[in-house]
Protein backbone atom coordinates (compact mmCIF):
# COMPACT_ATOMS: atom_id res chain seq x y z
CA UNK A 1 0.00 0.00 0.00
CA UNK A 2 0.97 3.62 -0.38
CA UNK A 3 2.87 5.08 2.54
CA UNK A 4 4.38 8.50 3.03
CA UNK A 5 6.88 9.26 5.78
CA UNK A 6 7.89 12.82 6.62
CA UNK A 7 11.04 13.80 8.44
CA UNK A 8 13.24 16.81 8.98
CA UNK A 9 11.12 18.96 11.25
CA UNK A 10 12.39 20.56 14.41
CA UNK A 11 12.98 23.77 16.31
CA UNK A 12 14.66 26.59 14.42
CA UNK A 13 15.19 30.28 15.08
CA UNK A 14 13.53 32.92 12.93
CA UNK A 15 15.51 33.38 9.74
CA UNK A 16 16.76 29.82 9.81
CA UNK A 17 16.26 26.97 7.38
CA UNK A 18 14.96 23.43 7.38
CA UNK A 19 14.59 20.77 4.74
CA UNK A 20 11.67 18.41 5.05
CA UNK A 21 11.69 15.01 3.37
CA UNK A 22 8.80 12.81 2.31
CA UNK A 23 9.85 9.25 1.54
CA UNK A 24 7.26 7.29 -0.40
CA UNK A 25 6.69 3.57 -0.67
CA UNK A 26 4.11 1.62 -2.61
CA UNK A 27 4.05 4.20 -5.37
CA UNK A 28 6.35 6.17 -7.64
CA UNK A 29 6.45 9.87 -6.74
CA UNK A 30 7.43 10.77 -10.29
CA UNK A 31 4.02 9.63 -11.56
CA UNK A 32 1.82 11.72 -9.28
CA UNK A 33 1.25 15.24 -8.10
CA UNK A 34 2.78 15.63 -4.66
CA UNK A 35 2.01 18.28 -2.09
CA UNK A 36 3.18 19.67 1.22
CA UNK A 37 0.48 20.91 3.59
CA UNK A 38 0.65 22.42 7.04
CA UNK A 39 -1.78 22.69 9.89
CA UNK A 40 -1.94 24.58 13.15
CA UNK A 41 -4.42 23.76 15.92
CA UNK A 42 -7.86 25.17 15.23
CA UNK A 43 -7.21 25.86 11.57
CA UNK A 44 -7.75 23.96 8.36
CA UNK A 45 -4.90 22.20 6.66
CA UNK A 46 -3.26 24.56 4.14
CA UNK A 47 -1.52 23.63 0.90
CA UNK A 48 1.96 25.13 1.04
CA UNK A 49 3.60 23.78 -2.12
CA UNK A 50 2.95 21.22 -4.81
CA UNK A 51 4.80 19.61 -7.67
CA UNK A 52 3.13 17.92 -10.60
CA UNK A 53 4.24 14.73 -12.29
CA UNK A 54 5.60 16.98 -15.02
CA UNK A 55 7.64 19.02 -12.57
CA UNK A 56 5.57 22.21 -12.40
CA UNK A 57 5.50 23.79 -8.96
CA UNK A 58 3.08 26.04 -7.11
CA UNK A 59 3.32 27.81 -3.76
CA UNK A 60 1.04 29.58 -1.36
CA UNK A 61 1.75 33.31 -1.46
CA UNK A 62 3.34 33.32 2.00
CA UNK A 63 5.89 30.73 0.88
CA UNK A 64 6.88 32.23 -2.47
CA UNK A 65 10.54 33.16 -2.60
CA UNK A 66 11.30 31.29 0.63
CA UNK A 67 10.23 27.67 0.09
CA UNK A 68 11.17 25.28 -2.68
CA UNK A 69 9.62 21.90 -3.45
CA UNK A 70 11.62 19.30 -5.33
CA UNK A 71 11.66 15.61 -6.09
CA UNK A 72 14.39 12.97 -6.26
CA UNK A 73 13.02 10.18 -8.38
CA UNK A 74 15.93 7.84 -7.63
CA UNK A 75 15.19 8.12 -3.91
CA UNK A 76 11.43 8.24 -4.41
CA UNK A 77 11.41 11.26 -2.12
CA UNK A 78 9.92 14.73 -2.22
CA UNK A 79 11.55 17.62 -0.39
CA UNK A 80 10.49 20.99 0.95
CA UNK A 81 13.38 23.39 1.44
CA UNK A 82 12.28 26.17 3.76
CA UNK A 83 14.42 29.28 4.12
CA UNK A 84 14.02 32.53 6.03
CA UNK A 85 11.58 30.85 8.36
CA UNK A 86 9.14 32.94 10.34
CA UNK A 87 7.23 32.21 13.56
CA UNK A 88 4.03 32.01 11.51
CA UNK A 89 5.50 29.01 9.65
CA UNK A 90 5.15 27.01 12.86
CA UNK A 91 2.88 24.05 12.12
CA UNK A 92 2.74 20.34 11.54
CA UNK A 93 3.77 19.70 7.96
CA UNK A 94 2.24 16.83 6.00
CA UNK A 95 3.09 15.21 2.71
CA UNK A 96 0.20 14.27 0.41
CA UNK A 97 -0.60 12.58 -2.83
CA UNK A 98 -3.88 11.64 -4.45
CA UNK A 99 -4.08 8.43 -6.42
CA UNK A 100 -7.32 7.23 -7.99
CA UNK A 101 -9.28 9.82 -5.97
CA UNK A 102 -7.82 8.56 -2.68
CA UNK A 103 -5.79 10.95 -0.55
CA UNK A 104 -2.70 9.59 1.16
CA UNK A 105 -1.06 11.40 4.06
CA UNK A 106 2.03 10.94 6.12
CA UNK A 107 2.09 11.19 9.90
CA UNK A 108 3.37 14.77 9.82
CA UNK A 109 6.47 16.47 11.13
CA UNK A 110 6.45 19.39 13.57
CA UNK A 111 8.17 22.62 12.58
CA UNK A 112 8.58 25.22 15.30
CA UNK A 113 10.07 28.61 14.54
CA UNK A 114 10.94 30.42 17.74
CA UNK A 115 13.74 32.30 19.40
Among candidates 36, 27, 86, which has minimal Cα distance to 62?
Answer: 86
Q: What is the pLDDT of residue 109?
A: 98
109 DSSP assignment: E
Rounded distance, CA 18 to CA 11, Å?
9
Q: What is the pLDDT of residue 100?
A: 93
Q: What is the pLDDT of residue 89?
A: 98
33 C-beta neighbours (distance < 10 Å), count: 16
Q: Where are the beta strands (DSSP E) in 8-101?
A: 10-12, 18-25, 34-39, 46-51, 57-59, 67-72, 77-82, 91-99
Query: What digits encode the pLDDT tens for the residues 14-73?
Result: 999 999 999 999 999 999 999 999 999 999 999 999 999 999 999 999 999 999 999 999
Q: What is the pLDDT of residue 56?
A: 97
38 DSSP assignment: E
Q: What is the pLDDT of residue 103?
A: 96
Amino acid sequence: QVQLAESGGGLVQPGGSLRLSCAASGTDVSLHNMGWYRQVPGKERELVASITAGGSTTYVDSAKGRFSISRDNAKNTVYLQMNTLKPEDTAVYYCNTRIAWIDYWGQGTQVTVSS
